[in-house]
Amino acid sequence: MMAALVRIFVALASVISYGVTLSFDQPDLRYIKLYYDNKPDSPFKEFLDYSSNTSVQGVDNTIQRACYSGVWLLYNHYDYDYNVERDVYYLYGLDRCFNFSSPQSVLSLRYAGSPSAMNDVYFTLYEGDIFSGKEYKSNANSPSLGDLDMKVSSLVVNGQSPWTFFTGLQFTGEAVCVYPVVISGSNNIYLHHEEFQSMDHMGLPDNSIKSVAKGCLSSKIYRGDRQQVEHTKIARWSNHDHMEQNDQNILQTDRGGLDLNQEDHEDHDLLQVDHVDLDVHRANNGDVDPRHAAHGSLQRRGAEHV
């Protein structure tokens, strides 16, 4: 089964530098920096895009620190996969840094969401659990999912809109509506996202999603909690613990279970609410019936980013 240390690797802008501070003219720039030591002034590689093989950019198994903005996935295997240890890091936040407790192998990485801006409205579907394997992403209604039809095992949503995921083509069948979590930062910069490492956490069978619509078009609703950027979390799925334990903002899991720190974050539940009239709901919220909406721009990325 595919899964990997989820990590967004910046392939387009890979540089090595010394003692560079986090300062950008573009405040919502998505980036990740991988350091060879746990000191802020140590050498690092910076990435702004995917990398299916980080050794091409000179990254080895001695990564000890990461600084980032956006939603990044770090994998301990090439091609966005994971090895038998199932190490996966899901990093999210705005200008955040953390130190690994021991040197890490980050062999591939990618980001979740839009290729343009980190808070654009987007959804990303993954072939494997824990955000591994091939992906299919879009910012528009998708009445079918091409090669990932009935092959979706995990997903991420970004931006300021809910999405509805259906088990039938053309927005039919069982459906779950997902609202993103909000992480607010300074200077009016915001990051909205939500993730499901497996379909079990979403309340749908594995490999059952066949279409996706923008907006909330289901009575089964999943709502995330609002978070301040000071409490940005790191979620990790692994059979082994490589993270420091003294940071209360770290989300730790073992063997695929997500354990949320209760001081900073409440449990997420699938909320059962009274069914609403979808025509009225769409009229009040400006949503268009996805059955009649033109299919918008759509991207699908395989193991290699193009």
Q: Convert 58-69 into a string of H (helix), E (strand) and C (coil).
A: CCCCCEEEEEEE
Residue with tokens 């996935």: 73
pLDDT at residue 185, rounded to an integer: 67
Q: Which residues contact 23 (CB under 8 A, 6 or more apart)?
A: none
Q: What are the tokens at 73?
A: 């996935």
One-letter amino acid for residue 48 of the chain: L
pLDDT at residue 87, rounded to an integer: 75
pLDDT at residue 114, rounded to an integer: 96
Instruction: Provide the 10 A C-beta neighbour count for residue 231.
Output: 14
Rounded distance between C-alpha atoms, residue 105 and residue 241, angstroms: 14
Q: What are the tokens at 274?
A: 């009274």
Residue with tokens 């996969």: 81
pLDDT at residue 277, rounded to an integer: 34
Q: Which residues contact 261 (CB under 8 A, 6 or more apart)?
A: 233, 248, 249, 250, 251
Give the angle subtended at the CA of 113 by the CAs of 171 and 42, to the nearest 5°: 160
Per-residue pLDDT 10s for the chain (306 aa) are 433 333 322 222 222 222 233 333 455 689 999 999 988 888 999 999 999 999 998 887 789 999 999 999 999 889 999 876 667 789 988 888 988 888 888 999 999 999 999 999 999 999 999 999 999 999 999 999 999 999 999 999 999 999 999 999 999 999 999 999 877 666 778 899 999 999 998 999 999 999 999 999 999 999 865 655 444 455 566 543 333 333 333 232 222 333 323 233 333 333 333 333 333 333 334 444 443 333 333 333 333 332
The pTM (predicted TM-score) of the whole model is 0.70
Considering the domain delimited by 15-301, tell me its CATH architecture.
Sandwich (2.60)
Q: Where are the domains of the chain?
A: 15-301
State the distance between the two ends of the chain, measured CA to CA, in whole angstroms: 24
163 and 217 Cβ atoms separated by less than 8 Å = no
pLDDT at residue 62, rounded to an integer: 84
pLDDT at residue 235, rounded to an integer: 58
DSSP 37: S
